[in-house]
Structure 1
């Protein structure tokens, strides 16, 4: 996450205006960068900057001083306020402890004369000792109550004791009976008086306990609140210090200065919020609050107190900052929806499926449509009558039609033709994800029984044998080679090795627009060789950002740069076997597969000539040299770390083994086995993690595996041989290169409109089979030429990922 988002994400909402204005400082850096380089554009006095190139440090320091003063003054006021509340709380907590202990001593009859809160171990917190149920009466009050109850009987009760008393009273003399009667009345009055006093004492005790419990609850809440405020104070210091460090680092990097170390040592470190004693004081107060909370709530258990306080802190953060998080997540989701092109137009901008389900969605809306049928009116969801669903229905209907209309002589070939058309149309239209279509291939191969035995060509395999056959075709050494390529690319990207090499080369390009353009194009092509033509344009666009920022919005150089990187990344997709999936498919089809040395020998001249031709076209089209001054790209000054050297050596060793794999076939057997080396080394040593492995383009791997299984099934059923024979008859009079031109033109058109990988999966097996059936068989030549044309198909903005990345980059930068 970018720090500008991180500070917004972690800031206390009420203090948001008092944090370092990181985004504004970044904008100032970019303004200073443009100002510094603007005089290079010409000698016009009116266009000369207000801030000279020698003054950016002074201007930036002024902005930093304002931020530092703002942060320091706010922190001192907030610290004084919070520390005052902490001191008040600790005094109240101490008096509360004294009252609590006196109450406990009063219950047990132990007077506290030691002058301390307690001279015995803590018996428990108020929350453990207080019983919210009916309080048990004391021994004295219980005995009095029992006596009163015994003597407070009704006169008409006829117990044995009452009868005996009455009989004795009757037999007594009158004076004595009267005297006894007066004594009994006096005793009864005394017992009732004692009972009333005991009840009053119980009421007073209950009230005192309730008061103490309420005070304990209040103290607990205050302890939690103060603990949270102290943690926020500590976070305030850390976030702002990180902000100063990062913004100074960015300033030094963009303007090639060395301000960070001097400013941090001279101004930031001595500032009151960032002194070591300030941090220490905050931590001491946090410790005091943990101890106080333990005394009041957790019977003195510090570990439990810390655990509970941290839980309260987390709940507070979630509650207080929920609005900020929700807004940020909403922005991210909108961006993802825009990038992925989600079909909200079908559902309406305000449609929420969850709300629709909860509310019943009974009202007529554009998300549904009613049809009148003989059995009544039926409501159909939008996705059922959308263009995507209609396309899918047409494809499925065509599939079943091809299954039952006899076109081929043999059943397995007829079924395979239906499956081939079905899968090709799903891939071409992308009505369902490409990898999902690939997963349908083995299912259909088994269910339709299109696979035949290699030993007995006319024997159709049963379901069990076909399952083993087709799944074995999905996982081949070529798939392992693809995984090895992903691993090398991940390591080079994660540890900035590719970026360092690219910036080093671009820093030598100088400031001439033509030289800078062609250098960027070759760097993009070289990066595409090793980190794929998916990651290479993203990397190159990030490198040229400083250059684009300093160009006018209507500059032709920016358009030439962006287009040049995109098109050369497409060309780079053909320069190595692991650069793109279509190369992997070609390696799998060609027999024998070419070595890496042969591949480089064929492809490097083609790629270099293609890039130079694209460069000339861009120069003639945009004329980027007119009135353009280029800001040179600076190389990374940090030295290679040990990990980076290790990754580089392992990568180079793996590439060398791939190049000589045919000579070492007796040892490794196939290039796919060599690909295991970077997998084991990088993941085994922890250089790459499980998350990196999960981030591989598994959809591409599944797509390639499905395509390989489709090619195996089409070949096994005999359909490929039949189609290739028919095509061979029609190109009988063509020369080898004439056939190559025909197929190259065909795949160029197809791959322009659909995915390069999909075009290779569909057409390359057919090209190989046609090449075998010719009078002079050259299947590898045809396959190699067709595979290269897959990468060269870049006529539309949607032709390949580099072109789509270019479109998004043009939109973001405003260089249209």
Structure 2
């Protein structure tokens, strides 16, 4: 959680305006950074303009110090006033507690309610507390009252209101009242009834006040710690952004010497907390200090949980309202009743904008609005096509007929994304078993559902899935311990400040990151690295567009650079027999990727022509040294990659690349470098999608449908050479993958391409599969063509809140880049694959 959110989440709501204004300090830092950069621009470009535009140089340190001094003064003043108030309350509480203990000691043993026995809690004897009865985290304990019996007695006997801690002159009870009561009472029994009432009232009142004071003192301590952390983080960000060294001096001279942050101040506060704990032990827990501490911390935890829950709900509510305002959502949409905007379901509020009223012969019926959406009607159309494919006889055997219907149905669901892709994948085994698509590999007899279920589920978990898990593990370790970020910042720091060099350096960093942490995480990392650079550029600068576009396109290209860079590569390995080693993959993919990026770089320079004189802030080099954990992760990663590269030579030992993937899984999770939370955060939707594709491939192959389709396509391309078929398939996949997911395109086409290649007179299925897999990553002509593109189009200018890119930018940059990459694949890529014997 960012500290700006953390301070809002942990702050005492009533004191929210008295905390350090961390967000405002961050804004000031960015303003000063921009002023310094602009000053450097004027100084370096035009000396005469410098004299006219800038009367005096920007002085970021004095400006920031003044802002810090203002915040420090505010915090010191508030802390002093709150500390004085709480100390006064503690002094009064101590006096009242002594009065209570004195009365309990002298008269507590004789005090009795009407027709009752003396209560241990007011005679000084300890009794089981709520924590003892219900456990340390028991939720049945109520800090404002004691047991139900005692509470009932208190309600019957208390005849006048008790004083609260806000009453500076009152005590839990009054000795004078007791003396007069004894003088005027008709009997000694009446006096002890009054004593009992006073003790019950006093104990209940002191209990409340002690808990409230303990919570307030702990909140004051948290206030001090949180603000000190805020000063430290603000100074750290200032030094990092403006390359200064203000933090050590300011912390030593100002912050550490301020009253709220002195060691003796914290010691006095801890002493006050210890006094409150002692008073609670004397009054409530029968001098059991450990039990008193446990109960007070339980009350504190309950208070904080309730308070944070309230604050968190408010924050979420504000975010939702802002999001609704951005999206133009409003009340009283079509179909919603103006007088009944919300309905309640199980205690929650449900927005009726998701509902619609329909007039029927039996009255108005409330229906889900999705029933009238275009997606629902599209789903009905897909189901209708599925039904037609099942009914119209197109193939000789029912297995092939049913498999063709399933193939069409699943492909349409994947292409339209009416339901999530991974959900469609999970539907595949169900359809394959129910429609009895599978046949025995030897006898070609149709399998029964029981045998078919075992076969299809076995096909969903293969060594390729383990390879995918190994890739996720390496990516998680490299990201979690900032190894990828350290590498990227080191390279970008060497790029300097020339726009052309900075652009190509960022593109190659994005490509390299995509090879190891996937082309989903790589653009996110790279965009975070360039944010300081974008922040300092003028609004009219043309450089952000080619920079963001270049990172997105390079991340797409990086998706073909290694076998674990994207799911389509993993699917390609499954459809290539024998699967290429990592060394063979690198031999083909790296030259194609590097040349493609250089050509795309030239295209970006020609189209956007970054403005002359644009001053770019250099990426600052990392100052942190490599730790032992980072070295260990790097060594394990390199060893795993080397084993993947030579997997064919070690088949007699490891069997398959999927077995090698177990090495990082065991070493990283077994040593605690990665945790079960990291494992749960894997892209399991991608794994399920790949598993669904593998099961569909098994069904298409087992039913004999794949051979029939391949034979028909082979007849259409009869007379064409292998290269002609390669060019045609690569072009088809490029077009299709531009409009649908790259992974979905690979799932649909790669099994067909492999079978077509195997059925040709000169069979070379691996070259067709490899080429088509590369083209899946090269489809990047639309914002929806891949995750890097979708991430890029959402990037906004922090100065005006507008997106840097529009769809038109992808059309006149992404489309030419896709076509040029296609030409590189069918020329250079083809030649390299022929060289290594594909």
Higher mean alpha-carbon deviation, 563-572 vs 256-265, is at: 256-265
1:5 corresponds in structure 2 to 5
SS in 2 for 1:355: strand
Q: Does 1:97 align with 2:85?
A: no
Alpha-carbon contact 1:20-1:71 (below 8 Å) kept: yes
CA distance in 2 between partners of 1:291 and 1:661 (Å): 69
1:737 corresponds in structure 2 to 723
After superposition, residues 490-639 of structure 1 pair within 5 angstroms as 490-639=476-625
How far does the alpha carbon of each residue in 1:236-267 deviate from its partner, in whole angstroms, 9 at most, with x for none?
11001100111111111111111111211222
How far does the alpha carbon of each residue in 1:314-335 deviate from its partner, in whole angstroms, 9 at most, with x for none?
3333444554322222345568
CA distance in 1 between partners of 2:723 and 2:436 (Å): 37
Q: Does 1:664 align with 2:650?
A: yes
2:83 corresponds in structure 1 to 79
How far does the alpha carbon of each residue in 1:182-221 deviate from its partner, in whole angstroms, 9 at most, with x for none?
xxxxxxxxxxxxxxx9964433322331122112111111
2:793 corresponds in structure 1 to 807
Distance 1:293 1:50, change over 3 A: farther
1:25 corresponds in structure 2 to 25
SS in 1 for 2:795: helix
How far does the alpha carbon of each residue in 1:460-490 deviate from its partner, in whole angstroms, 9 at most, with x for none?
1111211111111100000000000000000
Distance 1:3 1:649, change over 3 A: same
CA distance in 2 between partners of 1:362 and 1:665 (Å): 58
- Of 243, 254, 260 in structure 1, the residue corresponding to residue 241 of structure 2 is 254
Alpha-carbon contact 2:511-2:555 (below 8 Å) kept: yes
**TM-score normalised over the length of structure 2:** 0.84
What are the ranges of 5 or more consecutive residues in structure 2 without an aligned counterpart?
113-121, 128-144, 155-183, 806-838
1:63 corresponds in structure 2 to 67
2:372 corresponds in structure 1 to 385
Alpha-carbon contact 1:518-1:615 (below 8 Å) kept: yes
Alpha-carbon contact 2:104-2:124 (below 8 Å) kept: no
SS in 2 for 1:308: helix
SS in 1 for 2:780: coil
SS in 2 for 1:721: helix
Q: Does 1:45 align with 2:50?
A: yes
- Of 746, 751, 765 in structure 1, the residue corresponding to residue 737 of structure 2 is 751
2:125 corresponds in structure 1 to 123
After superposition, residues 766-805 of structure 1 pair within 5 angstroms as 766-805=752-791
SS in 2 for 1:763: helix
SS in 2 for 1:370: strand
Distance 1:443 1:340, change over 3 A: farther
How far does the alpha carbon of each residue in 1:562-620 deviate from its partner, in whole angstroms, 9 at most, with x for none?
00000100000000000000000000001111111111111111111111111111111
After superposition, residues 439-458 of structure 1 pair within 5 angstroms as 439-457=426-444
CA drift at 1:798: 0.9
SS in 1 for 2:358: strand
Distance 1:469 1:30, change over 3 A: same
Q: Does 1:433 align with 2:402?
A: no
Alpha-carbon contact 1:13-1:321 (below 8 Å) kept: no
SS in 2 for 1:389: helix
CA drift at 1:440: 0.8
Q: CA-atom RMSD, angstroms?
A: 3.0
Alpha-carbon contact 1:245-1:264 (below 8 Å) kept: yes
Alpha-carbon contact 2:111-2:196 (below 8 Å) kept: no
Distance 1:394 1:50, change over 3 A: farther
SS in 1 for 2:543: helix
2:232 corresponds in structure 1 to 245
Higher mean alpha-carbon deviation, 290-299 vs 362-371, is at: 362-371
Higher mean alpha-carbon deviation, 492-501 vs 429-438, is at: 429-438
Distance 1:224 1:366, change over 3 A: closer
CA distance in 1 between partners of 2:549 and 2:612 (Å): 18
2:384 corresponds in structure 1 to 397
Alpha-carbon contact 1:371-1:379 (below 8 Å) kept: no
Q: How many residues in Structure 1 have an aligned counterpart in Structure 2?
A: 742
Alpha-carbon contact 2:400-2:705 (below 8 Å) kept: yes
Higher mean alpha-carbon deviation, 618-627 vs 379-388, is at: 379-388
Higher Rg of the two aligned structures: 1
Q: Does 1:726 align with 2:731?
A: no
Alpha-carbon contact 1:38-1:48 (below 8 Å) kept: no
Alpha-carbon contact 2:738-2:779 (below 8 Å) kept: yes
After superposition, residues 688-727 of structure 1 pair within 5 angstroms as 688-727=674-713
SS in 2 for 1:452: coil
